[in-house]
Amino acid sequence: MRYLLGELTDAECDELEEAHFATADGFEELQAVEQELTDAYVAGDLSPERRLRFESRLVAGQHRDVEFSRALRAVLQDRQSSIARAGVRVRRRLVPWLPAAAAAVFISAVGWLALRASRPEEPPDAGRRETSPPVSTPSQAAPPTPTVPSSTAPGRGEIPTDRSRTLSVTLSAGLTRNDRGLRRIVVPAGADRVVFTLVVDDEGPTTYRAVLQNASGKDLLEVSPLHERATGQGRVVDIPVGAQVLADGDYVLQLQSPGDAGRAEDRAEYAFRVIRH
């Protein structure tokens, strides 16, 4: 690695090259070490000095190696944690939230309708894309209210202002996206907000509450009241979440509805993994 980072003298470089360039295996080994150096860079295993040195020596075409290394790391982490993930059981609990939500329904309904009315018509493939171009949030509209549990930092979960960069994600219910693992959502550094569009499978209520939980089952955000809307995909519910709430990690969005005796009933769970870039 010292050779690849330019930490050897010319004489030492000559010596190493004489030894490694003379055989196919030797040259290949240098290439293998170069990949491992890239992995170490991506994993954050390099010292600050070496990190800078690595970056200063990157040339055209190498960004592809870095991207591959980053992808390999993400996929392997995903697979390695699949067993642990299967063991994660999201708390299913009943919450007496209905009275407060009912009071807020009327107040927010007008704003929510305004938001829906002013929303530009969705493109035909809107539900199939994981990301979308930035859209503006109408400032005059009052979207569903995200409520941050008291244990979290103030300001988390705020709805971004106009001109914010919004990532749109459509999720189907279930703990896994497919047999390859959790649905991954790559949240770019510039994103201000993620709007989760949850596809509602079963017939039932039209008013919901959503709770965002991390992998430990800790509540990070509550958004209510939420109203379903009809799309080409069926009935969906939109959950706006400030991007700052979403660090790297696994999450579950629980969709709840009013149940008997004012208690909330879990309707569906939407699991996903966030990868920040």
User: Which parts of this chain interact with another protein (CB under 8 A)?
Assistant: 3-4, 6, 13-14, 17, 21-22, 25, 27-36, 39-40, 43-45, 55-68, 70-77, 79-80, 128-134, 165, 167, 180-181, 184, 186-191, 275, 277
Residue number, 192 or 222, with CB nearest to another protein: 192
Nearest approach, Cβ of residue 59 and another protein (Å): 5
Alpha-helical runs (H) found in the chain: 10-21, 24-43, 48-56, 62-80, 82-87, 98-118
Q: What CA–CA distance (Å, rounded) separates 219 from 71? A: 29
Residue number, 61 or 87, with CB nearest to another protein: 61
Q: Measure the CA angle with vertex 255, ends 253 and 256; round to 5°.
A: 140
One-letter amino acid of 85: R
Q: What CA–CA distance (Å, rounded) separates 267 from 94? A: 11
- Helical packing angle, 10-21 and 24-43, nearest 10°: 120
Q: What CA–CA distance (Å, rounded) separates 201 from 161? A: 31
Residue number, 110 or 247, with CB nearest to another protein: 247
Nearest approach, Cβ of residue 144 and another protein (Å): 23
Judge whether 111 and 143 are in contact, CB under 8 Å: yes
Residue number, 189 or 230, with CB nearest to another protein: 189
Nearest approach, Cβ of residue 267 and another protein (Å): 25
Q: What CA–CA distance (Å, rounded) separates 38 from 219? A: 36
Residue number, 77 or 233, with CB nearest to another protein: 77
Nearest approach, Cβ of residue 159 and another protein (Å): 19
Q: What end-to-end distance do the CA atoms of the chain give, in Å?
A: 26
Written as six digits, the tokens of 212 are 């965002």
Residue number, 122 or 206, with CB nearest to another protein: 122
- The upper half-sphere exposure of residue 43, i.e. CA atoms within 13 Å in the direction of its Cβ, equals 13
Which of 208, 203, 194 has the alpha carbon at shortest distance from 246? 194
Nearest approach, Cβ of residue 154 and another protein (Å): 26
Q: In what order do the strands lie in the sheet with 229-231?
A: 166-171, 193-199, 234-242, 229-231
Nearest approach, Cβ of residue 75 and another protein (Å): 5
Residue number, 9 or 216, with CB nearest to another protein: 9
Nearest approach, Cβ of residue 41 and another protein (Å): 11
Residue number, 138 or 181, with CB nearest to another protein: 181
Nearest approach, Cβ of residue 251 and another protein (Å): 17
